[in-house]
Amino acid sequence: MSAVIMGIVNVTPDSFSDGGRYVDADVAIAHGLKLRADGAHILDIGGESTRPGAERVDPRVEQERVLPVVRALAEAGIVVSIDTMNASTAVAAVEAGARIVNDVAGGLADPEMLAAVAPTRADLVLSHWRGHSTDMYARAQYDDVVDEVVTELRGRVEAAATAGIAPSRVILDPGIGFGKKGAQNWAMLRGLERLVRVGPRVLVGTSRKRFLAETLADDPADADEAQRDLATAVTSVLAAQAGVWGVRVHDVAGTRDALTVARSWEEGSRWTSSTRSR
């Protein structure tokens, strides 16, 4: 069992978790370098918050925030992902050195996204999405959340292929916390193996999200960052066991350690089985 760790660098003043900490480019770059030292395989740079209720950001402002950070971290030899719903930002970030475009809207917020990414060499994360942060929970209506998410993401893979993006370049994200309420997120996580069977790589991001806090405390506001990070590490391990390609997290070191322990557990199980068969 293994999973790629994607570390989060929010260059925003209003992220739900760490808004304002890394809005300065130099601070964001230093944070990215620390996450890489902690074990991140990829750094995901975002300049627009997608927290519930967040307002959209002009692409020019977004690019002013992220491009210096993308360029510096790419020049440091790090695999960089750009977290954006805007085609113009995606292209500019790839030109600055990003190798992955992470679109939480699955190519649906900007109709130019798929066509813009197609001629680049970048991979593309397509997340399950049913609307912008201002009203996404109004669309959290499902008969079978796993079946519907899998079906809708299959459609995004087909749309990407039509635009010229081969499935081998696509990474699917079930969009945990996006257009899904508490129990729906848990049902989707429990059904991850069904999404993994679709074919492309799967990325899961549970990091510090509200549904974890709702599980840990009667009042989600009472679940502090350390509690959310521990819950994130547990869910990341379970996602890796379900076969996902990668996990997207704030706390890279804690997730790295959790995955290392889980791998040792599995290796111990295999060693025990091999000695019994002798």
Which residues carry out catalysis?
209, 248
User: Which helix or strand (DSSP H or E) is residue 226 part of?
Assistant: helix 225-241
Question: Coil, strand, or helix at residue 180?
Answer: coil
The residue type of 227 is Q
Distance CA 191, CA 244 (A): 12
Q: Please name the residues in contact with 264: beta carbons below 8 A apart, sequence gap of 6 or more.
A: none
Distance CA 171, CA 268 (A): 31
The residue type of 193 is E
Q: How many CB atoms lie within 10 A of CB 199?
A: 13
Q: Which two tokens stand for residue 189?
A: 């996580």
The CB-side HSE value for 246 (13 A sphere, CA atoms) comes to 23
Q: Where do runs of H (alpha helix) occur along 99-224?
A: 113-117, 145-162, 182-190, 192-196, 210-216
The residue type of 114 is L
Nearest of 36, 28, 48, 27 to residue 7 by alpha carbon: 36
Burial of 158 (0-12, 13-18, 19+ CB in 10 A): exposed
